[in-house]
Structure formats: structure tokens, C-alpha cells
Amino acid sequence: MPAVTFLPDNCVVEVSEGENLLRAALLADIVVHASCGGDGTCGKCLMIVESGDVAASPSARLTAEQAAAGYVVGCKTTVLGDVTVRIPDASRPGAIPSGNATRRAVNPILSRQQRIARLPRHTSPPPVAKRLVRMTPPDTTDSTNDARLVKLGLRRAHGIRDATISLAALRELPRIAREGGWVVTAIAAEPCDTLPGVSGFQAGDTTDCQYAVAVDIGTTTVEVAVIDLNTGAEIAREADYNGQTRLGDDVISRIIASTKPGGLEELGRLVTETIVKLVETALSTCGASEEDIVCYYVAGNTVMTHLLLGITPEHIRTAPYTPVTSSFPWLRAQEFGLPSASTTRLYAMPCPASWLGGDIVAGVVAAGMPWTEKLTLFIDIGTNGEIVLGNSEWLVSTSCSAGPAFEGRGIRHGMRAAEGAIEQVRIDSETLEPSYLTIGAAKPAGICGSGLIDCVSELFLCGALERTGSFVAELDNPHVREGDSGREYVLVDASSSATGCDIVLTESDIDNLMRAKAAIFAGITVLAESLDVDLNEIEEVVVAGGFGRYLDLERVVALGMVPELPRDRFVFLGNGSLLGAALAATSREVLRTARKTGEMMTYLELSVNAGFMDSYMSALFLPHTDLGQFPQTEKLRAERSRIGAVS
């Protein structure tokens, strides 16, 4: 990876080729003026390229003299190789930090290719796919029936033995076989006891167009991805808030809503409408036809999966917390009104326990835990915080209610990780002036999960926040003001925002985030203690969730959400649920592994654990009441704090 050296800081950061210099500066913890979110309109992030290879876009914000002197607009200049850059005083909101040369590792969320590279190589075909069958035309010397010819072709070409054929497919077979000149495309799956192996046929060879749709049904957000089954590549992705949120922000409120007359049907309709809208948009984006979708692979928590399928979740809410089922049959997508052909199937990932669903099974598979000997901690950060500890031999899991703050809900200017969402924030320790980047380099419209974590952690490290999360009482700074419900930090002023309003972070927002992070850390602590595992014994920590593209480990740790372990033990997976569903769509072996993973998981119920509330209360501070667990965070805060003595 190219190395960017920033002067006069003498700080070196490695970035991907094609990354822009403003992003590189923020990743290096260098605060630079940037009030436009990185779209190049403010022209404040000026830098001087002293050596190295970059690609700089022309900018009207540069004078001819500046351009001749090597000035570039940081957000519009991409890194092509090793480069040395000087940041002039005018581009900084505060004093230049002093100190020795440093080299900072960064942790962007892994790309899809990087995530797949962590897993064993799988060569098995998709569980459901189009399979080309060349039939031998019958004649007077060989009157083998049409269905038998198809079965012989599937066995010879694809190794599918004893395939059954649905009645609907049999009715169409004579016409399609002859229209296709005895060449047909069979929509075929592994034989199973809930659906026939062949659900339909198409005349001729149509295997060049076949797609699967992976669906992650979150309590707050629904995300879909269209997968090209010929290449395994994701060709379109869309996300939006779950339509069910109008009936409640959390699973408990939705369980209650489902017990009211017509409630179960209404909740099913709302989430289906969300999926339909997203899939139609994704298909339009990539130019695919719903007739070529062979299967949907759905991953969601146990309540969300029950609601989609029209199964009551009412008994999940009360002891002994039992779902109706933990596994689901193959279904037909048209039963749910999803964009599909009559042959399109739907598979829901297994849900091992009441509060442990198919989204976590999919995430654990995407993290590679079923194949690793490393003691691994998997954390899915969302409305429900799910945690899994183990390896290929054993897996123990738990779940805690974190609330929707990580996905932008319950935050004054929160939003999901979409274009215009602030996803990275750095704050100058002297002036408290922010520098931020948005998704898509668009005008800031709100703040997503990664930006929220960054902003609160930065304010704490700067000394602007007490350990309780409230602003320091004696703080007198133009960026902090009295709001309608307490003090608030102005992250973006109205003139620079896409909404025409100030984007602020309130003490109530901070409180919501602190309660969410405390639940996550308490869940980790109790799970490890229950298994007699010291946190330092954990060899890898995989963090998953629907954040922006960047989640800074130093800020996550400073918040007190995860244990303070060596940086190289952490991996940021992104939406593991969606990735796991997509992997299952492309490999029969991965799908089988997912089923086995669901069966081997043991679940720890926190609601009956006497120590959970004590752990939760201890974690309701920044970073924790036991500061001995966070020595590096305390050192960093002491170095950065703008207030002389840090309490």
C-alpha cells in the first residue's frame, strides 16, 4: 500500500491506491479544515505535494500561483504511490502537534474481496442455480421420456442424482424441450424434502443471466445485494430503514404489535414492501430481470425472520423465550410478493435461539469462524448487539439490546450509512473545530454510526466531555452551546449542510450512544467470564455492523465499547449478515456450513445472568469505571486533552 508522509508532523500513514489526501490526513489523526464533507467546494483542505505520485483534479479554488507552487485540494487529489505532503498552517484549525515521527495503521472496513480472501476456497456450485441440460431427442429406437432425459442430463453434467421435478415444471417441460431444440435450462437445487430439485425450465441456454438476492433484515435497516451467480460478484446493493419502524423501534415493541388484531400481517407487509422497493431499485441499477432471480437468501434476527414469514414471535418475549422454530423450509418467493419468477425460491438462514438469529449465523460464517482454530470474538453492533466467542470446535453466543443509535435512530441528526452521512470526524484539541468526511463526498445531511462513534470519542479525548458523557461545565467554546435539551456540539453549521440546518450532537445523543456501548461491553465481559476466558486470551476480534466504510479502532476502544487489545487482533467486517447470505448463495458448501454452525451454537441468556447489570453499570462511563482496563486510552487522553488536568 502507498505510504503518505505528512509534514511537518512527520506522520506516515498507509492507504489504498486511489485514496484522497484529505481522507489520508484524517486517518493519520491530522485535523485539516474541511467544511464541505470532501466534495471540493470549500477549498479549505489545501496541501503542498513535495514529492511523489498523485492525481490532482483541477479546482477553481486554487490560484495560478498556488498551483505552480505545488498546492492541491486534498479531497480532490488521489494517491497513486508513495508521497510526501506538507500541510500549511492556513489549512489547520489549531497548532501543529509536536513530537517524534509516527506511523499510524488504519483500519478501513474490509472490501468484499478482502473478506472472501480470509475464507477457505470453495469450489462447490450454488445451492440453487440454472443448470444447462442437453437432452437426446427420443426416436423410434429410444423412447425415453422427457423427465428421464432431464434427470440423466443433470446427473451427467452436474452430478445431481435422483432429482425430482415439480408438477408445474413437468407441465411445461414438453413444450419447452421442443421449443429449445432439446436444450433446456433447469432451475435446479439439491434434492430436499420440502421442494423438488427442479422447479422449472427455460427454453435453450439462459445460464448467462442468473442471479441471487441476499437480504439482511435488521431491526432498523434492511439491506439487499444482487449477486451474479456466474461470477459470484455483487452487482448492486441498496439499503433503507425497515418499514416496520413505524410500529416500534425495537423487537419487543414489534412483538407486542404482532399480537394485536392484524398486527402480524401488517408487520409482514411492511418489511416485504421495504424489500420489494430495494430489490426493484437494485435490479434497475444493474439491468437484471426478476425472471432471472433463482433464489433469495434471507438473514435476520429470530423475530424479524418470524415476522417476514408470518410466524408469530409472541413467545420469544417471555420466559422461557421460545421461538416457534429455529430452521425454515425452502419457500417460493412469489408467496411473499417479492420480485421473482414462478420458480424463484427463498431460503431463510437458521435462527439458533430466541435472541440469536440467522443474521449472526451468516456473520459468523462470513467471519470465517467455522474454519479457524483461533479463539475469536465476533461482535455484531446494531440495534441488538450479538456476541459470539469460540472457533471451529465450539461457539457460545449471547445477545443484548443496544438500541438503534449505531444505525442513526434516536440521534437528533442521525441517519443510516448513505450518501451525505458524516462517517469520519476529527476534532482539533485546541479549538474544537471539526474536520469531517461524508459518504459519497456529498454535502453533510446527518451522521451515521461510524461518524457518531468518532465524534463522541474525539470530544472525550480532547477533554471536552466528562466521563459521564456530559460536556465539561467550565467549557467555553463557540462550537458548544445551549440547545433545547441541554448542551450540544455544532458539527456542521447550516450554511454548509445539505439540510440548511445546523448538524449538532446533543448530550441526549451522547447518552444514547453510551447506553448502547455499555450493553455491548457488558455482554462481552459476561460472556467471557461465564466461559472462564480472560479477554487477553482472545486472538482475534471481528467487528460487524452497518457502519460507514471506516470505523476507527482507537475511537471504538476510547468509547469503551470493545476491550483494549493489540490493534492487529481486530478486523472490521462491515455487514457480515449480508456477506454471509451472499456467500451462501454462491456455494453449496458454505450453505451447509451455515446450517451446521446454527446447530452447534450454544446460547447464554443475559436476562437471567446476575452479573450482567453490574457489568452494564460499570460500562456507563467513558471509557469505563475500571480505567485499568484502558491504559492506552488514558494515555492518549492525557496527551490530547485541551484541559490541563484530566479527571
Give the containing element (helix H, strand E) for 597: helix 588-600
Q: Are 200 and 173 in contact (CB under 8 A)?
A: no
- Tell me what pLDDT residue 607 has: 79
How high is the pLDDT of residue 105? 56
- pTM of the predicted structure, to 2 decimals: 0.84
CB 508 within 8 A of CB 471: no
pLDDT 10s digits, 408-448 = 888 999 998 888 999 999 999 989 999 999 988 888 999 99
Name the DSSP letter for residue 443: P
pLDDT tens per residue across span 394-415? 999 999 888 888 888 889 999 9
CATH number of 3-106: 3.10.20.30
Residue 625 carries which DSSP code? Answer: S
Each as own residue / partner, the long-range contacts of residues 274-278 (CB below 8 Å, 24 or more positions apart, any chain) are 274/222, 274/240, 274/241, 274/242, 274/243, 274/244, 275/215, 275/217, 275/222, 275/224, 275/338, 276/337, 276/338, 276/339, 277/240, 278/222, 278/223, 278/224, 278/238, 278/239, 278/240
Cα–Cα separations (whole angstroms), residue 250 to 187, 245, 276, 463, 575: 38, 8, 22, 33, 19
Topology alike, domains 3-106 and 212-348? no
pLDDT at 38: 85
Q: Which helix (H) or strand (E) holds 158?
A: helix 146-158
* pLDDT, greater one: 97 or 604: 604
pLDDT at 165 over 50: yes
> For residues 549 and 157, what is the distance between their CA atoms, to the nearest angstrom?
42
Contact assessment for residue 406 and residue 452, using Cβ atoms and an 8 Å cutoff: yes
pLDDT digits (tens, 9 = 90+) for 599-620: 999 999 887 888 899 999 999 9
- Nearest of 354, 362, 355, 363 to residue 325 by alpha carbon: 354
Q: CA-based angle 282:288:289, to the nearest 5? A: 110
Q: How far apart are CA 41 and CA 22, in angstroms?
A: 13
3-state SS of 44-113 is: CCEEEEEEEEEEECCCCCCCHHHHHCCEEEHHHEEEEEEEEEECCHHHCCCCCCCCCCEEECCCECCCHH
Confidence bin at 193 (pLDDT 50/70/90): very low
pLDDT value of residue 440: 86
DSSP state of 632: H
Task: Report whether 146 contacts 173 (CB < 8 A).
Answer: yes
Superfamily of domain 212-348 in CATH is Domain of unknown function (DUF4445) (3.30.420.480)
Considering only residues 27 and 210, tell me which one the structure prediction assigns the higher pLDDT: 210
Query: The cell 480472560 sits on which residue?
Result: 534
* pLDDT-based confidence at residue 552 (cuts at 50, 70, 90): confident
Edge-to-edge order in the sheet of strand 395-401 = 570-574, 540-545, 376-381, 384-390, 395-401, 601-604
**pLDDT score for 565:** 95
Which tens digit of pLDDT belongs to each residue from 336-379? 999 999 999 999 999 999 989 999 999 999 999 999 999 999 99
Which pLDDT score, from 0 to 100, does residue 288 have? 96
Report pLDDT for 409: 83
What residue ranges do the domains of the chain occupy? 3-106, 128-203, 212-348, 372-402+514-634, 405-508
Please say if the pLDDT value at position 645 is more than 50. Answer: no
Region 139-166 average pLDDT: 90
Q: What percentage of the chain exceeds 70 in pLDDT?
A: 95
Q: Is the pLDDT of residue 104 over 60?
A: no
State residue 647's pLDDT score: 43
Q: What is the pLDDT, as a whole number, of residue 108?
A: 59
pLDDT of residue 216: 97
Q: What is the pLDDT of residue 320?
A: 87
Asked if residue 1 has pLDDT above 90, the reply is no
Give pLDDT, residue 170.
96
My answer on whether omega of the bond before 404 falls inside 30° of 0, hence cis, is no
Distance (Å, whole) CA 346 – CA 436 = 41
Q: Please tell me the predicted confidence (pLDDT) of residue 99.
A: 41
Instruction: Give the neighbor-by-neighbor strand order of the sheet with 345-348.
Output: 234-241, 221-228, 211-217, 293-300, 345-348, 331-332
pLDDT confidence of residue 339: 98
Between 506 and 90, residue with greater pLDDT: 506
So what's the pLDDT on residue 257?
96
pLDDT of residue 118: 79
Q: What is the pLDDT of residues 196-249, one digit of tens each?
A: 589 999 999 999 999 999 999 999 899 999 999 999 999 999 999 999 989 988
Backbone angles phi, psi at 504, to 5 degrees: -125, 160
Judge whether residue 384 has pLDDT over 90.
no
How far apart (Å, rounded) are the C-alpha atoms in residues 88 and 90? Answer: 5
Architecture in CATH for domain 372-402+514-634: 2-Layer Sandwich (3.30)
Instruction: List pLDDT tens digits, range 256-308.
Output: 999 999 999 999 999 999 999 999 999 999 999 999 999 999 999 999 999 99
Task: Please state, in angstroms and rounded to a whole number, the distance separating the CA atoms of residues 180 and 186.
Answer: 12
Grid coordinates belonging to 422? 458524516
Average pLDDT, the chain: 90
Q: What does the pLDDT read at residue 643? A: 46
User: ∠ at Cα 227 (222, 228), nearest 5°?
Assistant: 165
CA distance 76 to 38: 8
pLDDT on residue 452: 95
Class of domain 128-203 (CATH, top level): alpha beta
Q: 3-state class of 219 per DSSP? A: coil
* pLDDT at position 15 over 50: yes
Cα–Cα distance, 154 to 146 (Å, whole number): 13
- Region 451-464: mean pLDDT is 95
What is the structure's pLDDT at 103? Answer: 58
Identify the burial level of 631 via C-beta atoms within 10 angstroms of its C-beta, where 0-12 means exposed, 13-18 middle and 19 or more buried.
exposed
What is the three-class DSSP state of 9? coil
Residue % of the chain over a pLDDT of 90: 70
Calpha distance 32→89 (Å, rounded): 10
User: Comparing 157-161, 244-248, 306-310, 391-395, which segment has the lowest mean pLDDT?
Assistant: 157-161
Q: Say what the pLDDT of residue 646 is.
A: 43
- Check pLDDT > 70 for residue 97: no
Element (H or E) spanning 378, and its range? strand 376-381
Lowest mean pLDDT among 120-129, 295-304, 586-595: 120-129
Counting every residue written for the chain, the total comes to 647
Q: Given a cut of 70, is residue 548 above it in pLDDT?
A: no
